[in-house]
């Protein structure tokens, strides 16, 4: 039978199969890069990779929290695109970058709230709810923008969020690092974090233990919405433009892969934020390596799909749980 | 066990038809061309690929799982068939058979991953959805693959006033309907969808049933793909993209529960697919912005899923995950 483990883990334990496999995969990828494209390891490039990892990692943090509670949020990238588009339109019209950034956050929170309300109150299936919001929201952002990208945003906005204050390390990386530390600590040691794991492991038992399940579920989706809003700001600043295309289907796959590779269980109740960040790192480096070695984009999709299946297949907890 | 059959489905069917009728009457009054035999036949013809794909998906959904790779399966199998016809100058009939076999094979890969490797069906088919599309794009270089000239005109074939593909759809749907209602396999799928653990204890070959439901879904998706290809005269790089979500919506709108174990093919899929094509057609006739279809389609999906959640009554968050 599946043995469920609640964080914190014992200090000394044999690493799980998943961790061994992901570490081996990471080392193999790095060696391959070292042989085929040593330029990869230049400082400037590493910073750029970190930037990509942070943007993916930010969404993965949101997804991790939702997955721990036992749901899934497919609408994250669509949500990001919607926030980015709305905020960018406002900024372009008024030039007020601070309110524009707030609009991005608010859009993310609002869509997260809709997801959370549908799952927690209307008792709908998370996968289906977020699939529907993904369709509606991305449809809406394509409609609003007519598929065009919105550029020429205020310089202050871009200068502020795309700055590189510390040894050339961008604000994005710093924000994500601080946030990841904070969320990891909260999930591990706060009451709310424990509630999240408890609901994910067994919602009936959690109900018996008088945990406010509805609020925990709602909060997880609102949190992931917040992450989407933050991503919208940082990604828009980095690209210098916003478009509905920011949330294409491939991004969902990357987020889910990052979480799954990082040991977050799709059945809920286990997984940690640092793991998801490691997953994001591995996925990003894998994509970069394939790109550098000259594997076509389409072929890299196949590889990514195979990696996810492999990682879920070696996940200890099986479908029999239903 | 939940009671099944016409009686328990009746209230929902009723509610669905009220909505259906309202939309239908609205479009008939609001536009000139909507309520005409030609246009209704067009809607039926346009919904064929969707309906056939959804019928395959419905089998998987009834067994309590999901298959969101159907769109990519249709794309990859049709791309292979079209390339074989163009470059290998293969006989079209033989090519069609190969396409269906490819679809079945891709479905078998899904079935293998889900049944043998015991990967959650959502994650498994999410991955194969992307991987199959990647393969197809790599094969076609993301370019349009034209069909050879004689076949390109097959899409306009009519029997009297009625397009040929409507008959194809009806035959396929009736066959799948009979498979689901009259055979042991169909009843076993339902039993499995109601409770896989019980079905296993009773001694049903749950693994084999699950595997074949994926094989059938793959094969039917490729049949849907063939119809799309013939209608368009070419395999486009966007074939089947988004089809998985629309097909899933058709399945649910038609009243097949996502929790598995309930529903009927013929009387769910046809109205379900019709309402989606009707909305698209009606919006076109109204002169609405094409970008708005996705938004309105999503809203319909949302409403249908909500009805499904209400109807099921029972609640398990992790059931589908």
For B116-139, what is each residue's pLDDT tens digit?
888 888 888 988 988 898 899 989
Considering only the beta carbons, identify the residue of B113, B131, B297 that sits closest to A135: B297
Which pTM value belongs to this model?
0.81
Is-contact A236 A87, C-beta < 8 A?
A: yes
**Cα–Cα distance, A301 to B128 (Å, whole number):** 9
For residue B289, being part of any structural domain is answered with: yes
Q: Do A124 and B309 touch (CB under 8 A)?
A: yes
Considering only the beta carbons, identify the residue of B64, B127, B302 that sits closest to A309: B127
Residues 158-217 of A with CB under 8 A from B: 203, 217
For chain B, 321 residues long, give each residue's pLDDT as a single digit of tens: 344 444 445 555 556 677 778 888 888 888 888 888 888 888 898 899 999 999 999 999 999 898 989 999 999 999 999 999 888 778 888 999 999 999 999 999 999 999 988 888 888 898 898 889 889 998 998 888 888 877 777 777 777 778 888 888 999 999 999 999 899 999 999 999 888 888 999 889 999 999 999 999 999 999 999 999 988 888 888 888 778 878 888 888 777 877 777 778 888 899 889 988 888 888 888 888 777 777 887 787 777 777 767 766 544 434 443
* ipTM > 0.90, yes or no: no
Is-contact A62 A227, C-beta < 8 A?
A: yes
pLDDT computed for residue A129 by the predictor: 86
pLDDT computed for residue A58 by the predictor: 94
Residues 13-32 of A with CB under 8 A from B: none
Number of domains in chain B: 1
For residue B297, being part of any structural domain is answered with: yes
For chain B, the three-class secondary structure string (H helix, E strand, C coil) is CCCCCHHHHHHHHHHHHHHHHHHHHHHHHHCCCCCCHHHHHHHHHHHHHHHHHHHHHHHHHHCCCCCCCHHHHHHHHHHHHHHHHHHCCCCHHHHHHHHHHHHHHHHHHHHHHHHHCCCCHHHHHHHHHHHHHHHHHHHHCCCCEECCHHHHHHHHCEECCEEHHHHHHHHHHHHHHHHHHHCHHHHHHHHHHHCHHHHHHHCCCHHHHHHHHHHHHHHHHHHHHHHHHHHHCEECCCCCCCHHHHHHHHHHHCCCCCCCCCCCHHHHHHHHHHHHHHHHHHHHHHCCCCCHHHHHHHHHHHHHHHHHHHHHCCCCCCCCC
Rg (CA), chain A: 19
Smallest Cα distance from B34 to chain A, Å: 24
Q: Return the residue in A69, A111, A127, A202 with the most chain B beta carbons within 10 A, the one to mutate for interface testing.
A: A127
Smallest Cα distance from A312 to chain B, Å: 6
Provide the residue ranges of all domains of chain A, joining segments of one domain with +: 17-26+38-315
Q: Return the residue in B119, B256, B280, B293 with the most chain A beta carbons within 10 A, the one to mutate for interface testing.
A: B119
Partners of A242 in beta bridges: A150
For residue B146, being part of any structural domain is answered with: yes
pLDDT computed for residue B15 by the predictor: 63
Residues 63-92 of A with CB under 8 A from B: 70-72
Residue in chain B closest to A124 (alpha carbons) equals B309
Which range is least confidently modeled, A41-45, A226-230, B158-162, B314-318? B314-318
Mean pLDDT of chain A: 85
Considering only the beta carbons, identify the residue of A135, A300, A301 that sits closest to B294: A135
Residues 87-126 of A with CB under 8 A from B: 118-119, 122-126
Residue with tokens 């016409």: B6
| pLDDT above 60: residue A8 | no
For residues A189-218, give the mean pLDDT: 91
Q: Return the residue in B305, B311, B313, B319 with the most chain A beta carbons within 10 A, the one to mutate for interface testing.
A: B305
Considering only the beta carbons, identify the residue of A72, A134, A143 that sits closest to B321: A72
Two structure tokens written together for A5? 């483990």
Specify the CATH number for the domain of residue B108: 1.10.3470
Q: Write out chain B residues lying below 8 Å of A128, CB-based.
A: 248, 252, 258, 305, 320
For residue B179, being part of any structural domain is answered with: yes
pLDDT computed for residue A29 by the predictor: 82
Residues 215-254 of A with CB under 8 A from B: 217, 249-250, 252-253
Q: Write out chain B residues lying below 8 Å of A118, CB-based.
A: 302, 306
For residue B319, being part of any structural domain is answered with: no
Residues 233-272 of B with CB under 8 A from A: 245, 248, 252, 258-259
pLDDT tens-digit series, residues A69-90: 999 998 999 999 999 999 999 9
Q: Which domain holds residue B39?
A: 6-312
**Cα–Cα distance, A136 to A149 (Å, whole number):** 19
For residue B321, being part of any structural domain is answered with: no
Q: Do B298 and A70 touch (CB under 8 A)?
A: no
| pLDDT above 90: residue A253 | no
For residue B121, being part of any structural domain is answered with: yes
| Most distant CA atoms of chain A, gap in Å | 59
For residue B318, being part of any structural domain is answered with: no
Residue with tokens 């608010």: A106
Local structure of residue A270 (DSSP, 8 states)? -
pLDDT tens-digit series, residues A120-162: 988 888 887 888 888 889 888 888 888 888 888 888 888 888 8
**Cα–Cα distance, A275 to B248 (Å, whole number):** 32
CATH fold for domain A17-26+38-315: ABC transporter involved in vitamin B12 uptake, BtuC (1.10.3470)
């Amino acid at each position: 039978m599946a043995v469920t483990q609640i964080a914190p883990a014992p200090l000394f334990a044999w690493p799980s199969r998943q961790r061994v496999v992901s570490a081996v995969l990471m080392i193999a990828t790095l060696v391959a890069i070292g042989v085929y494209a040593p330029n990869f390891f230049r400082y400037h490039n590493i910073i750029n990779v970190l930037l990509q990892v942070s943007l993916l990692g930010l969404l993965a943090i949101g997804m991790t929290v939702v997955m721990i509670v036992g749901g899934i949020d497919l609408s994250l990238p669509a949500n990001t695109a919607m926030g980015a588009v709305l905020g960018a339109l406002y900024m372009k019209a008024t030039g007020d970058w601070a309110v524009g950034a707030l609009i991005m956050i608010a859009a993310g929170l609002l869509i997260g709230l809709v997801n959370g309300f549908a799952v927690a109150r209307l008792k709908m299936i998370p996968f289906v709810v977020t699939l529907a919001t993904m369709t509606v929201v991305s449809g809406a952002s394509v409609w609003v923008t007519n598929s065009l990208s919105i550029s020429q945003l205020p310089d202050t906005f871009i200068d502020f969020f795309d700055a590189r204050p510390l040894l050339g390390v961008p604000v994005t990386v710093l924000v994500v690092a601080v946030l990841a530390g904070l969320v990891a600590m909260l999930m591990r040691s706060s009451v709310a974090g424990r509630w999240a794991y408890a609901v994910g492991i067994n919602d009936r038992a959690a109900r018996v233990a008088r945990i406010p399940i509805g609020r925990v579920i709602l909060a997880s989706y609102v949190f992931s919405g917040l992450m989407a809003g933050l991503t919208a700001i940082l990604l828009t600043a980095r690209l210098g433009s916003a478009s509905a295309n920011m949330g294409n289907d491939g991004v969902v796959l990357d987020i889910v892969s990052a979480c799954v590779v990082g040991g977050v269980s799709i059945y809920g109740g286990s997984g940690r934020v640092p793991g998801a960040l490691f997953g994001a790192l591995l996925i990003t480096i894998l994509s970069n390596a394939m790109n550098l070695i000259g594997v076509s984009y389409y072929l890299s999709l196949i590889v990514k799909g195979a990696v996810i299946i492999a990682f879920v297949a070696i996940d200890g907890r099986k479908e029999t749980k239903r | 066990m939940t009671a099944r059959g016409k009686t328990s489905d009746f209230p929902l069917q009723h509610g669905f038809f009220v909505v259906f009728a309202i939309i239908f009457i609205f479009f008939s009054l609001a536009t000139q061309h909507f309520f005409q035999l030609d246009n209704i036949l067009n809607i039926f013809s346009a919904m064929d690929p969707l309906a056939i794909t959804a019928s395959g998906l419905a089998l998987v959904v009834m067994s309590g799982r999901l298959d969101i790779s159907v769109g990519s399966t249709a794309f990859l199998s049709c791309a292979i068939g079209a390339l074989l016809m163009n470059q290998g100058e293969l006989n079209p009939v033989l090519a069609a058979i190969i396409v269906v076999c490819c679809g079945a094979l891709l479905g078998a890969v899904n079935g293998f991953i889900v049944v043998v490797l015991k990967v959650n069906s959502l994650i498994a088919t999410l991955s194969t959805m992307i991987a199959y599309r990647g393969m197809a794009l790599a094969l076609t270089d993301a370019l349009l693959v034209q069909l050879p000239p004689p076949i390109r005109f097959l899409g306009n074939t009519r029997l009297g006033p009625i397009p040929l593909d409507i008959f194809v759809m009806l035959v396929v749907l009736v066959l799948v309907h009979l498979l689901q209602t009259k055979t042991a396999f169909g009843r076993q799928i339902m039993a499995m969808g109601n409770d896989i653990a019980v079905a296993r204890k009773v001694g049903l070959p749950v693994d084999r049933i699950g595997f074949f439901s994926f094989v059938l879904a793959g094969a039917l998706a490729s049949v849907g793909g063939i119809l799309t290809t013939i209608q368009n005269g070419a395999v486009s790089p966007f074939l089947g993209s988004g089809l998985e979500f629309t097909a899933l919506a058709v399945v649910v709108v038609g009243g097949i529960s996502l929790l598995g174990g309930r529903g009927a093919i013929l009387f769910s899929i046809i109205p379900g697919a019709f309402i989606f094509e009707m909305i698209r057609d009606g919006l076109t006739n109204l002169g609405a912005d094409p970008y708005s279809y996705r938004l309105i389609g999503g809203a319909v999906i949302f409403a249908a899923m909500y009805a499904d959640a209400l109807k099921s009554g029972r609640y398990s968050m992790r059931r589908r995950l």
